Amino acid sequence: MPSLPVVKQFITELISSRDAWRVPEPNLVMDDPEQVRGFHEAGLEGGVMAPVYLFHAINVSEVVRPGDVVLDLGCGPANQLAMVARLNPDSQFLGLDLSDEMLARAQEQINAQQLGNVALRKEDITRLGSLGDQSVDAVFSTVVLHQLPDLEAFNAVFQQIHRVLKPGGGVYLVDFGHLKTERAISYFAHQYADRQPDIFTRDYHNSLRAAFDRADWQAAHRTYLAGATGFYTTFVMPFMVAIKSPIRHPLTTEQQAEFGRLYRAMPGWHQRDFDDLRTMFRLGGLKLGHFPR
């Protein structure tokens, strides 16, 4: 079961009346160096987002096959992209972002890890103008779509995914779902405020307020990706929402060993966060094909 503090938030969210509505991000493109640095540091091994990135890396790896051309929509500083690319060396990855500062940080990360299977490009993910129809084998995006300005842009991303993805391709899209109360939003944003930079806490709070409703996700899924993917939310309250295709490639022995190493290397509170996220999604229907131990 999820940890007691999370269960309490479930109950509070369930019985409370709605008082929180979507507020778009104040900066739709994160180009401020301090913001980028805080976001980058939070996603490093040992950073506050490490357990979330590990969970997503497993999900992405389950829908990527060797030889695939894989698109990362909104790659940011490439913390997530680098982890996935390192664990899938026989696939080619293209990370897209609109922020020059993010792309510069991402290139540093790719160079430092000597990842020859990653390319980066400045691109609007609502248009994907440089990509042809059915030109990629898999698409993923992790905690990015809430940064879009409005529902029109949100739906445009799904339309573009449908256009550029080959039939039978892999999909893993995940982001925050909009919570019903400001109290729940504040809880999750400040849960680890003592362990993360103040600017990250503020950005996290803005991100949760900017999340799209579960109904918006369901409508986009039904219109563009239904049949080839499943739609999932965390149990009871949609703290996170995911769309995932069936497993296309079971994890290799080497991948399983590395995921296990990363899990064991995390401090106990990170492991609890990973376990909570896994449990909340599992109760919502999304099950990992492999759980690291």
Examine residue 72 and state whether it is found in any structural domain, yes or no.
yes
Examine residue 288 and state whether it is found in any structural domain, yes or no.
no
Structurally, how many domains does the chain consist of? Answer: 1
Examine residue 19 and state whether it is found in any structural domain, yes or no.
yes
Beta-sheet pairing, 165-176 with 92-97: unpaired
* E strands, the chain, in order: 69-73, 92-97, 118-122, 136-142, 165-176, 230-233, 240-244
Supply the range of the domain harboring residue 48.
Answer: 4-283
Q: Are 92 and 117 in contact (CB under 8 A)?
A: yes
Q: Are 167 and 229 in contact (CB under 8 A)?
A: no
- Please give the model's pTM, rounded to 2 decimal places: 0.91
**Per-residue model confidence (pLDDT) at position 42:** 47
Mark the ranges of the chain whose per-residue pLDDT is less than 70.
1-3, 28-47, 196
Examine residue 230 and state whether it is found in any structural domain, yes or no.
yes
Examine residue 291 and state whether it is found in any structural domain, yes or no.
no
**Per-residue model confidence (pLDDT) at position 37:** 55
Examine residue 165 and state whether it is found in any structural domain, yes or no.
yes
Q: Which CATH number characterizes residue 265's domain? A: 3.40.50.150
Examine residue 289 and state whether it is found in any structural domain, yes or no.
no
92 phi and psi, to 5 degrees? -105, 135
**Per-residue model confidence (pLDDT) at position 4:** 72
Examine residue 174 and state whether it is found in any structural domain, yes or no.
yes
**Per-residue model confidence (pLDDT) at position 114:** 97
